[in-house]
């Protein structure tokens, strides 16, 4: 999973799961905000600004699909700049951690445990 300011989104998912007595499925996540901060020199790292730096412009910010595409553009562009071939590789190259939700508590995932996650097809 990729989200811009992922800590906020993970809190929402955890809160919704708690309110409905559900356990979130286990998955790793990457914050495109953290990746953008380690990839671009910008005055602001808001999603529209970071997406523009990645070559993704003029999208309907706060529309779920458009925001998802903007996050994807940031991650794909950053991966190219860092020479990374996977989400885990990008996290390592950019010096950011992968988060994990659905475990007993949200935690940072090591490179080794992230390697167990299937690779992402960047095409």
Q: How confident is the model at residue 112, as a pLDDT? A: 46
- Name every residue whose Cβ is closer than 8 Å to that of residue 41 and which is 6 or more positions away in sequence: none
**Per-domain residue ranges of the chain:** 2-114
Strand partners, 10: none
Work out whether strand 98-101 and strand 2-3 pair parallel, antiparallel, or are unpaired. Answer: unpaired
Q: How confident is the model at residue 59, as a pLDDT? A: 92
pLDDT at 64 over 70: yes
| Per-residue pLDDT tens over the stretch 102-113 | 855 544 544 444
Laid out side by side, the sheet with 27-31 consists of: 2-3, 27-31, 98-101, 107-109
pTM greater than the 0.85 cutoff: no
Q: How confident is the model at residue 102, as a pLDDT? A: 86
Sign of CA dihedral 2, 7, 12, 14: positive
Read off the pLDDT of each residue in 47-52 and give the average, rounded to a whole number.
98
Q: In whole angstroms, what is the distance from residue 53 CA to residue 55 CA?
A: 5
């Amino acid at each position: 999973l990729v989200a811009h300011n992922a800590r906020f989104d993970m809190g929402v998912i955890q809160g919704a799961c708690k309110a409905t007595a559900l356990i979130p499925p286990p998955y790793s996540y990457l914050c495109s905000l953290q990746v953008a901060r380690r990839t671009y020199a910008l005055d602001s790292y808001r999603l529209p600004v970071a997406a523009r730096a990645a070559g993704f412009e003029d999208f309907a910010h706060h529309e779920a699909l458009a925001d998802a595409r903007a996050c994807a553009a940031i991650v794909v562009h950053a991966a190219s700049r860092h020479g990374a071939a996977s989400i885990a590789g990008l996290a390592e190259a950019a010096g950011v951690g992968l988060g994990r939700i659905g475990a007993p508590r949200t935690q940072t995932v090591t490179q080794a445990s992230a390697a167990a996650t299937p690779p992402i097809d960047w095409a």
